[in-house]
Amino acid sequence: MAAGIKQRHPVAQAYARALMEIGSASGEADLYGDQLDALTEAVESDASFKVFLESPKIRRGDKKSTLEKALQGKVADPVLNLVRILIDRNRQNLIDDIAQAYREQIDKAAGRINAIITSATELSAEVRDALTAAIEKKLNKVVVSTEQVDAALLSGLTVQIGDLVVDGSLRTQLRKVRQEVSLTRFGKDLIDEN
C-alpha cells in the first residue's frame, strides 16, 4: 500500500496554496476545486488533449490561445490564469498534483481528512462505519473514507491517511514472519560456523 503513495512535485503545493487564498477571499474555493478536478479529468481521460498540453513541439502561445478559447466562460478567471502560468513556466504536467494539493487544503480548512481503506474482501457497512468512527475519534476530524478491495492482502486491511499507512493485513504479517525466520536461520549459520 505504501508503494501506492504518489509523491507530488514540491511547487504543486505552492500553486495550490496561492489559488486557495484567492478562492477563500472570493468565497469560491470549492468552485475552483471542482474546476481543477474537471480539468484534471479532461487531461487524464483524453490522450490527445494530454499530448497537446504536454508536447514540447506545440508553441506555448498556441496552447494558451486554444485553452483560452475552450475554457473562457467555463472556468473561473483565477483557474484559467493558473493554467496560463503553468504553460508559461512549462509546468502544465502539474495540473493533477495541484488539484490534489488544492483538495487537501480545502479538506484541511473544513476539518476533514481522507482515509483509503483497503481490505481483502468487501467490508460490511457496520465494520466500515465502526472503523471510520474510531479514526474520527482518534484524530478528532471528520473522515471521508474511500474503500478498495485487494485480494492480495489475503486477510485484514490497511488504512492510509495521507502519508501514514496502518497495515494490518495478513500478507504483511506473513512477510514479517518470513523475514524473522530468515534472520534466525542466518544467525544460526553464523553460530554453527564458530
Tens of pLDDT, residues 3-18? 344 567 789 999 999 9
Q: Is the confidence at residue 36, as pLDDT, over 90?
A: yes
Q: What class, spelled out in words, does domain 2-107 have in CATH?
A: mainly alpha
Helix (H) or strand (E) holding 164: strand 164-167
162: CB partners within 8 A, 6+ apart = 113, 114
Q: pTM higher than 0.75 for the full model?
A: no
Provide the pLDDT for residue 101: 92
Tens digit of each residue's pLDDT (9 = 90 or more) over 46-76: 999 889 988 989 999 999 999 999 888 899 9
SS3 80: helix
Are 179 and 165 in contact by the 8 Å Cβ rule? The answer is no
Other residues' Cβ atoms within 10 Å of the Cβ of residue 109: 11
Quote the percentage of the chain above a pLDDT of 90. 39
pLDDT at 3: 38
